[in-house]
């Protein structure tokens, strides 16, 4: 029996080496927390304040509620199908429409790679620039290559690096919260800002939902963890607690940071500060605190965010190759490192191309839009797949939760939420590229099928 188990753990599809199961409940918890708390909260605070005003905490709270409900669908599905590929796998099993499956996978892959590329640009152009002058995009390209090498080295090294980096980025946010508490205790801060909603030329509802649709980007990341299912020990058992507790920890910190920011700095000044909004909070609450320390923490935050996103993107391609959705060569695992090296190289090359040619700042809102659409599909898929009976016990979400989550995701992705037209324009371009790649992929898959007949 032991020998059989050993073979199962060492070999994957077509007899090639399997991915290495190294993640227990603690490592998975840190993976979820580290993925959610990345560059988003460091960069989005000012932008969200610009849309909603002083009630900065409200969009983050609402985004958490929608994301938390969607997490229930992911938990049921990863418990039922504990394999890599995540949303693409669930879409494929539920609807059996190859084009839809490919486009869902493309959208998720884009979200991971654009997030990592954004982090690379922030690394080279913002945080490192506080210490040295370096040419762009050279620094971002070297950053992506470094991530690829860590990723290739193996999941064990990658997730352990994530634990260290997660502690560092949590320390940065706790500094902001601590500064806020200290400042308020010493008579600073204006509590009236916490209920101010800047409607400008729109209704209260649009102001809140527009800010929520942006803040939602800061809450995503929990869904990336399901792509690591084949590298988790007993994923059916450990996922529910790790994912839900990870989301609670991350959202609590987000809300405390947003309350602190609003108490100490008016919304207009936060918006003007853009990606350095938290540095502005630090300057007001603790003028003597060295900015270099927080900038150094920001460097580690973007490294962690990018590392996790590149891990997810490569595992997504690996899972899709094993499901025969894309050419199986992309699922090739290195026999010694037991990491999906072809997928790692492929996703790293795409990220390098992005940081070299595209204005990444325009993709943040579009990425959130695409993920909201994916989440709506996953929330529907979980209900469709209940007709498939599982041979093992797994987490089951109350039916009302995925129904409500699907409705909220569709609303936040729609023009009714006040989303800018540019998001839809860029999304249309990305989806057109995805459709063209689907045609190429179909031709490659057909050729591969003929070769093996």
The conformation of residue 16, written as its DSSP 8-state character, comes to P
* pLDDT score for 373: 94
Q: Work out the pLDDT band at 397, boundaries 50, 70, 90.
A: very high
Better-predicted residue by pLDDT, 159 or 408: 408
pLDDT at 311 exceeding the cut of 70: yes
Model confidence pLDDT, tens digit, residues 246-304: 999 999 999 999 999 999 999 999 988 776 788 899 999 998 888 888 878 877 877 88
Q: Work out the pLDDT band at 305, boundaries 50, 70, 90.
A: confident
d(CA 324, CA 343): 14
Mark 408-438 as b/e (b = at least 16 C-beta within 10 Å).
bbbbbbbeebbbeeebbebbeebbeebeeeb
| Local structure of 23: helix, strand or coil | strand
Q: Is 333 exposed, middle or buried (0-12, 13-18, 19+ CB in 10 A)?
A: buried
Cis peptide before 294 (omega within 30 of 0): no
> Rg of the chain's alpha carbons, rounded to an integer?
22
* pLDDT score for 158: 77
Rounded to 10 deg, the angle between the 98-122 and 364-384 helix axes is 140
Least confident of 114-118, 147-151, 223-227, 375-379: 114-118
pTM of the model: 0.83
Identify any residues that bridge with 426 across adjacent strands, giving them in sequence order: none
* pLDDT score for 359: 63
* Per-domain boundaries in the chain: 21-451
C-beta separation of 257 from 45 below 8 A: yes
Model confidence pLDDT, tens digit, residues 65-97: 999 999 999 999 988 988 766 788 899 999 999
Least confident of 8-12, 167-171, 380-384, 434-438: 8-12
* pLDDT score for 4: 36
Class of domain 21-451: mainly alpha
* pLDDT score for 136: 59
The conformation of residue 20, written as its DSSP 8-state character, comes to P
pLDDT at 453 exceeding the cut of 70: no
Measured over the CA atoms of residue 178, residue 183, residue 187 and residue 191, the dihedral's sign is: negative
Identify any residues that bridge with 11 across adjacent strands, giving them in sequence order: 17
Model confidence pLDDT, tens digit, residues 334-366: 888 888 999 999 999 888 887 777 665 566 677
């Amino acid at each position: 029996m032991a020998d059989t188990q050993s073979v199962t753990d060492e070999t994957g599809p077509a007899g090639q080496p399997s991915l290495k199961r190294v993640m227990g409940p603690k490592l998975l918890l840190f993976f979820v927390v580290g993925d959610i708390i990345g560059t988003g909260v460091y960069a989005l605070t000012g932008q969200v304040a610009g849309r909603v005003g002083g009630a900065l905490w409200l969009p983050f709270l609402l985004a958490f509620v929608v994301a938390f409900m969607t997490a229930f669908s992911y938990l049921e599905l990863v418990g039922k199908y504990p394999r890599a590929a995540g949303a693409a796998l669930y879409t494929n099993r539920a609807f059996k429409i190859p084009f839809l499956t490919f486009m869902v996978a493309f959208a998720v892959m884009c979200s991971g790679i654009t997030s990592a590329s954004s982090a690379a640009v922030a690394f080279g152009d913002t945080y490192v620039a506080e210490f040295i002058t370096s040419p762009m995009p050279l620094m971002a390209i070297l950053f992506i290559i470094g991530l690829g090498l860590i990723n290739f080295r193996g999941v064990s090294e990658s997730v352990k690096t994530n634990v260290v980096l997660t502690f560092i980025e949590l320390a940065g946010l706790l500094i902001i919260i601590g500064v806020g508490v200290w400042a308020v205790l010493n008579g600073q801060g204006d509590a009236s800002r916490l209920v101010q909603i800047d409607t400008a030329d729109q209704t209260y509802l649009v102001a809140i939902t527009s800010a929520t649709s942006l803040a939602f980007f800061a809450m995503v990341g929990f869904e990336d963890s399901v792509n690591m299912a084949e590298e988790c020990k007993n994923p059916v058992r450990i996922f529910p607690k790790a994912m839900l507790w990870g989301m609670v920890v991350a959202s609590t910190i987000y809300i405390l940071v947003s309350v602190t920011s609003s108490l100490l700095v008016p919304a207009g000044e936060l918006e003007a500060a853009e990606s350095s909004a938290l540095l502005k909070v630090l300057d007001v609450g603790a003028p003597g605190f060295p900015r270099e320390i927080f900038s150094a923490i920001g460097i580690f935050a973007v490294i962690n965010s990018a590392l996790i996103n590149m891990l997810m993107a490569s595992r997504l391609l690996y899972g899709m190759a094993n499901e025969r959705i894309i050419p199986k060569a992309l699922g090739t695992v290195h026999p010694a490192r037991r990491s999906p090296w072809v997928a790692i190289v492929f996703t790293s090359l795409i990220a390098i191309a992005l940081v070299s040619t595209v204005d990444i700042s325009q993709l943040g809102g579009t990425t959130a839009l695409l993920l909201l659409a994916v989440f709506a599909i996953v929330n529907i898929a979980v209900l469709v797949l209940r007709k498939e009976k599982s041979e093992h016990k797994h987490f089951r979400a109350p039916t009302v939760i995925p129904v409500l989550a699907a409705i909220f995701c569709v609303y936040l992705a729609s023009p009714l939420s006040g989303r800018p037209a540019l998001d839809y324009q860029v999304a249309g371009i990305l989806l057109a590229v995805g459709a063209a790649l689907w045609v190429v992929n179909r031709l490659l898959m057909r050729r591969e099928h003929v070769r093996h007949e």
